[in-house]
Amino acid sequence: MKKVIVGSILFLGAVSAYAQNPPPFAAYKSDGSGGWTPLTTTSSSNPAPSNPPPSALYCFNAGLGQWVPADSSCLGGGGGSGTVTSVTFTGDGTVLSSTPSSAVTTSGTLPATLNTQAANSVFGNFTGSTAAPTFSATPTFAITNLTGTCTGCTANSATSATTATNLAGGALGSAPTQTAAGATGFLASPTTSGHTFVYAWQPSGSAIAPTALDLATYLASPAAIGGTAANAGTFTLGTITGNGGVSIAPLFMTGALNTSGTATTNFPNLFIQPTGTAPVNTWSTAGTYFGINCTAASGNAIDIHAVGGASTTFVVGCNGNAVVSNRLVAAQLASSTNVWNLAAAGVEIANTTPVIWSSGSVAGTGPYDIGMDRSAAGVLEVDNGTQGNANGSLKTAGIIAASYQQTAASSTAGTCAMSTSTSCTITIAHTYATPVCIATQQSATLTGASNGCTVSGTTVTVTAAVANSETWGAWVFGNPN
């Protein structure tokens, strides 16, 4: 504190310190060493023309060399002096405790103690407008543009998030999943080395939890599409593109044939059937690899072309006809019932299957009126389209043969015996519009003299000029010209 003494007498002359008490009514201050010096000022207003009158407080302006009314520059902020004996600290009762601290009587630190609050309280202003902050255990507020890292945070729920660096409860490699409404769990990380896994859903009733699928296993033997029935799923595909490689096919199907069903239910492994097509009830019960069920008997089931050529290389029509542009070359090409083969040795036909021709211009329309079949070992029969009915005719410019052999007795020729008579008859298997008959005695001794024969229907009559008991033979053939 500055000590100011006001005196009544001011002395002119040089300003100097006074070792004794200053004159009355003059403004002096202690110099701190037991002496007094005049109070000086920077104010230059209202200077006294001479020494100030008694009973007035002036300060000396050294620049003017005069006394001027005292102001704050010379008086300073001085005040009275005193001694502190005890100090305590009391908080506001909200943030800091309102209980006074321990008193400090000489020197020391005044401690500020935080006020206790309810668990999970947050300090802030949650009123929606400007107000003094308070503590709240159930604050409601909006936070925008929140950035930074939350270390050791635990979240019970979140409606949205920009970035999450950690989810509590998950092990290394695990994947979070919603286990129930408002509940989250984790799928354990697969551990099979070298395999690729994906998290996917395989619903089974109401259980729709995802699972880790091993692609190496799943793609080799995928689950049924759309349920447990293999034909229940639907693929909508555009183009399958892929390059073949060593032991790699762009489209590769595996699996054993179905042999547990019936001729109606044993579907082929690869099956093409347009919507609305009548079902097949003749599938092989031993299984089928590839099957097509055409909607109608028109169109092609298979149509193969070579290098974009306009002509067809190989066609299998929905009517059952097969067309080959050039020829069939194969070690063996067999019919479905194994009645014929195209083998290296030639065309092989089963012993009960005839080769037949139709009277129509389109194959398969019938009726059949001529054919050839195997009558017996080494015997070819010309029939009327029915095996065993050798009523067909063979038209040729010539026949070169080592022998002529009837397929059955009395087919076109036969024998009869006369019994002391001049005639006998033979029944043949065919009739002729214009028959020619040749008869001869079947003996080295000619006793019947001249002879002849006539044909009426299937009856051949041999006549001799002389009665005899010889055996006669007759051969009948047609002579339409």
- Whether 101 maps to a domain, the answer reads no
Within-domain flag for 221: no
Q: Half-sphere exposure of 15 toward its Cβ, with a 13 Å CA cutoff? A: 20
* pLDDT exceeds cutoff 80 at 477: yes
Q: Quick one: 442 and 369 in the same domain?
A: no
pLDDT grade, residue 19 (50/70/90)? very low
Distance CA 264, CA 416 (A): 61
Looking at residue 322, its pLDDT comes to 72
pLDDT of 461: 96
Please name every residue paired with 175 in a beta bridge, in sequence order, or none if there are none. 187
Report the pLDDT value the prediction gives residue 161, as an integer from 0 to 100: 55
Q: What is the mean pLDDT of the chain?
A: 75
Q: Kindly give the residue spans of alpha helices, DSSP state H, lying in 193-333.
A: 215-220
Choose the final residue of a domain: 80, 101, 119.
Answer: 80
> Which distant-in-sequence residues (6+ apart) come within 8 Å of 424 by Cβ?
416, 417, 418, 461, 462, 472
Q: Which amino acid is at 44?
A: S
* Position 316 in a domain: no
- pTM for the model: 0.32
- In this structure, the answer to whether residues 29 and 74 fall within a common structural domain is yes
Size of the chain in residues: 481
Per the structure, the count of domains in the chain is 3
Residues 368 and 437 in one domain: no
3-state secondary structure 133-174: CEEECCCCCCCCCCCCCCCCCCCCCCCCCCCCCCCCCCCCCC
Average pLDDT (179-192) is 82
CA dihedral 198, 201, 202, 206 (to 10 degrees): 160
Give yes or no: residues 352 and 426 share one domain.
no
Are residues 424 and 372 located together in one domain of the fold? no
Among 26, 56, 80, the domain boundary falls at 80
Q: How far is CA 430 from the centre of its chain?
A: 74
> Which of 78, 73, 35 lies closest to 60, judged by CA?
73
Q: Domain of residue 374: give its range.
A: 332-383
How many angstroms separate the CA atoms of 423 and 454, rounded? 11
For residues 59 and 18, state if they share a domain: yes
Q: Using the predicted structure, report yes or no on whether residue 416 has a pLDDT greater than 90.
A: yes
59, 80, 101 — which closes off a domain?
Answer: 80
Q: Is residue 96 part of a domain?
A: no
Is 36 contained in some domain?
yes
For the chain, percent of residues with pLDDT exceeding 90:
12
**What residues have CB less than 8 Å from 210, skipping those under 6 apart?**
175, 177, 187, 199, 200, 201
Are 375 and 417 part of one and the same domain? no
In sequence order, the 6+-apart residues with CB closer than 8 A to the CB of 352 are 339, 387
Tokens of 325: 């542009």
Answer whether residue 207 is part of any domain: no
On the question of pLDDT at 115 being above 50, the answer is yes
Are 364 and 422 in a shared domain? no
Confidence tier at 282 by pLDDT (50, 70, 90) = very high
Distance between CA 450 and CA 55 in Å, rounded? Answer: 207
Residue 194 falls within a domain, yes or no? no
| Maximum mean pLDDT: which of 222-236, 348-362, 383-397 | 348-362
pLDDT level of residue 160 (50, 70, 90 thresholds): low
Element (H, E) at 74: helix 72-75
1 shares a domain with 76:
yes
What integer is the mean pLDDT of 305-319? 77
Q: What is the pLDDT of residue 188?
A: 84
pLDDT at 330 over 50: no
Q: 3 and 65 share a domain?
A: yes
| 74 shares a domain with 3 | yes
If asked whether residues 427 and 358 sit together in one domain, one would say: no
Q: Is 46 contained in some domain?
A: yes
HSE-up of residue 35 (Cα within 13 Å, Cβ side): 8
